[in-house]
Chain A
């Protein structure tokens, strides 16, 4: 049956504007919409956040020596996790900005929670470099401000570009997310029956009344924001890749890094959107808004970006030979293809290169099992990719006498688990307190679908096979 369902619509069932309000607004306004499972996940998230706080406190108390970082591998789990988290964020901006500009209306029902994911992922990412400085209480030194030392940051360093790129990315994503929420706050304000909920949403909606003149400026602003976020998202991961590509370390000094990192970021991000999207639509009965067609198209994007990333792996191999640099070639043959870390390299090829190929089959793209399985594999694979690039390249450098293996410590693992918990906590709270799906854009989509006569009245929401 899966085959016939691929072409199901972006909104199914007998829908009108009120039913959309109800199915999305219910999650926020009616606490009974949430089962005990929501609470259990909240506990998991809170415990994870606790672990994060403990590991941060211990790190600040003891210093970065609690991590496994050493010389030459001065960048370990902290930078791996930074790049991994920031990559996950990119799907949200891609969905909200680039797909908007390309007039891909199917983004309307998944953009809100992907944008939330972006913000939370960037929050997790930002922690790592800030803590990696070793003296996080001096982190304001990263910004250019007049000081009595008479010093300024070094603007020729990609690490400083990162400060600007990541902080701009976070602020712009937050603004984009908030302005997208304002009309939905107005809807919730008008729907809420609880006094406090009404008051809070009224304050957040700032008196939004849906005037055509307001919508006119709103749309101008929204498209402009999308237009500037699209190059922003490409620039952020390009700049992150410059942290490596601009150096001369074997395995890092590759010109293909910027596009390859951006594709990898989208790849990891869409995997995370699927990981959250499937339980969300299942447990909150949102199958009529996040349909199999969405899953099908997201799986296709995973496949496409996966192929770009796979091509990047081929190019890395090719360049290490073609560059004629014997250290590059030695790194490839002795550290990646062989040696104590080789299993991570081959696991990476399996997770990112081979697993997504299942999506060539129609059935896999609508099967919950395969979607979740491949998405988890891709998330692991993208983490491994950063591990392969960052500490593995550092352990084998130009000077054989300084070669030293890298092992993460308990606190490295604790902090990573902690950020996963923190992310989960924020997502779980988001599902409870803010509209998970963009209400006004889905109404717009419904209106346009009705106009196109593509919409079938009374079609039943489909169960996922």
Chain B
């Protein structure tokens, strides 16, 4: 297969490795104050305050869930209404064909089913997962990002990208190691 020249090549990012979440958070805030915008932090567990430090805000997942929850609710009720009132009307114990209280449990379960699946699938889709290859995996020691180290990557795409200044900034904020990685 011919090489696809549209693939990005060359430098991906400067990556700093930190020993604690506090250091990572501090370094991220400093980097943001220094004007860097295209960056990401990597940690073995969720760190509260990291999104704020990165200036990242996102509410796509909750919105997806509420939309799918409403779809689930509608589908659940419509299914019961169509089958019990329109397509197969049957008198059960003199109850009205549209027996609202009896239709609540199934409506409720459908709402939950749709919301739960949309939450999980939505998270993976918005995060662009599964993604078997990502340039950050080329960073030095990056296998520890899922174990006990905390990483900050400032990407070369950043308009203010300056490798030396970034290295200085990371080192002055306690980075154990600063390296660059390619695509």
Q: Is the C-beta of A136 less than 8 angstroms from some C-beta in chain B?
A: no
B28-55 interface mask toward A, CB cutoff 8 Å, 1 = contact, 0 = none? Answer: 0000000000001111111100110010
Q: Are A156 and B115 in contact (CB under 8 A)?
A: no
In the bound complex, CA of A182 to CA of B57 (Å): 23
A191–B95 Cα gap in the complex (Å)? 61
- In chain B, residues 112-139, which have Cβ atoms closer than 8 Å to a Cβ of chain A? 112-113, 115-117, 119-120, 122-124, 126-127, 129-134, 136-137
Contact in complex: A155, B88 (CB < 8 Å): no
**B179 contacts the other chain (Cβ, under 8 Å)?**
no
B16 within 8 A of A: no
Of B3-11, B59-67, B161-169, B170-178, the stretch lying at the interface with chain A is: B59-67
Q: Are B47 and A215 in contact (CB under 8 A)?
A: yes
Within 8 Å CB of B115, what residues of A? 224, 228
A interface, over-half SS = helix
B2 is an interface residue with CB less than 8 A from chain A: no
A interface residues, how many (CB within 8 angstroms): 61
The answer to whether the Cβ of A441 comes within 8 Å of any Cβ in the partner chain is yes
**A114 CA / B126 CA spacing, docked (Å):** 29
Given contacts A187-B146, A447-B21, contact A212 B129 (CB under 8 A): no
| Complex CA–CA separation, A216 to B108 (angstroms) | 28
Bound complex: CA A212 to CA B112 (Å): 28
A78→B45 CA distance, assembly (Å) = 43
In the assembled complex, B183 has its CB within 8 A of some CB on chain A:
no
Q: Which residues of A contact B43 (CB under 8 A)?
A: 210, 212, 215
Known contacts: A208-B129, A443-B45. The answer to whether A228 contacts B116 by CB under 8 A is yes
Set of chain A residues within 8 Å of B80, measured between Cβ atoms: 155
A210 / chain B contacts, CB cutoff of 8 Å = 42-44, 145-146
Residue of B nearest to A202 (CB): B132
Q: Which of A177-201 contact B (CB under 8 A)?
A: 178-179, 183, 186-187, 189-191
B58 touches A154 (CB 8 A): no
Distance (whole angstroms) from the CB of B171 to the closest CB of chain A = 21
A209 touches B42 (CB 8 A): yes
Q: Is the CB of A444 within 8 A of B46?
A: yes
Interface 0/1 of B85-102, CB less than 8 Å to A: 001101010010001001
Q: Report the minimum CB–CB distance from A188 to chain B (whole Å).
A: 9
A189 to B144, CA, bound (A): 11
B58 close to A213 (CB less than 8 A): yes
Q: Is the CB of A191 within 8 A of B147?
A: yes
Q: Which of A150, A155, A221 contacts B106 (CB 8 A)?
A: A155
B127 adjacent to A168 (CB under 8 Å): no
Q: In angstroms, how far is the closest chain A Cβ from the Cβ of B64?
A: 9
On chain A, the residues within 8 Å of B95 by CB distance are 156
Complex Cα–Cα for A164 and B102 (A): 13
> Distance in Å from the Cβ of B169 to the closest Cβ of chain A?
18
Number of A-B residue pairs having CB atoms within 8 Å of each other in the complex: 188
Q: Is B71 an interface residue (CB 8 A)?
A: no
Contacting chain B: which of A14-22, A80-88, A127-135, A367-375?
A14-22
Evaluate contact between A440 and B56: CB separation under 8 angstroms: no
The yes or no answer to B158 lying at the interface (CB within 8 A) is no
**Residues on the B chain within 8 Å of A161, using CB:** 105-106, 109
A172 (CB) vs chain B CBs: closest residue: B116
Please, how many angstroms separate the alpha-carbon atoms of A189 and B130 in the complex?
Answer: 14
Cβ-based interface call for A152 (8 A):
yes
Which chain B residues lie closer than 8 Å to A175 at the CB level?
Answer: 116-117, 120
Q: Collect the chain A residues with CB atoms within 8 Å of residue B123's CB.
A: 179, 217-218, 220-221
Known: A217-B58, A228-B116. A441 touches B137 (CB 8 A): no
A105 to chain B, nearest CB (A): 12
Q: Mark B148-168, 1 if CB is under 8 A from A, else 0.
A: 100000000000000000000
Instruction: Compute how far the CA of A158 lies from the CA of B69 in the bound complex, rounded to whole angstroms.
Output: 23
With A213-B127, A215-B43 known as contacts, the answer to whether A156 contacts B112 (CB < 8 A) is no
Residue of B nearest to A440 (CB): B45
- Contacting residues, chain B, for A156 (C-beta < 8 A): 84, 92, 95, 99, 102-103
Chain A nearest Cβ from B105, distance in angstroms = 4
**A151–B89 Cα gap in the complex (Å)?**
10
Interface string of A424-465 (1 = CB under 8 A from B): 000000000000000011011001000000000000000000
Give complex CA distance A191, B65 in Å: 34
Given the interface pairs A440-B44, A440-B45, the reply to whether A164 lies near B110 with Cβ below 8 Å is yes
CB within 8 Å of B: which of A218-241?
218-221, 224-225, 228-229, 231-232, 235, 239
Q: Mark A308-341, 1 if CB is under 8 A from B, else 0.
A: 0000000000000000000000000000000000
Contact of B113 among A151, A171, A213 (CB under 8 A): A171
Mark A404-438 against chain B: 1 for CB-CB distance below 8 A, else 0: 00000000000000000000000000000000000
How far does the alpha carbon of A147 sit from the alpha carbon of B66 in the complex, in Å?
32
What are 28 pairs between A and B in contact, CB < 8 Å?
A: A21-B147, A153-B83, A155-B99, A155-B106, A161-B109, A168-B109, A168-B112, A175-B120, A187-B146, A190-B145, A190-B146, A208-B129, A209-B136, A210-B44, A210-B145, A211-B40, A212-B41, A213-B56, A213-B58, A215-B50, A217-B60, A217-B122, A218-B123, A218-B127, A220-B59, A228-B112, A235-B105, A440-B45
Return the 3 tightest CB-CB contacts between A and B, nearest first. Answer: A206-B130, A17-B148, A152-B83
Taking A215-B50, A443-B44 as known contacts, 16 extra A-B pairs with beta carbons closer than 8 A to each other, sorted by chain A number, are A17-B147, A156-B84, A160-B106, A179-B123, A183-B146, A190-B143, A210-B43, A212-B41, A212-B56, A213-B40, A214-B127, A215-B46, A217-B122, A224-B62, A225-B116, A443-B45
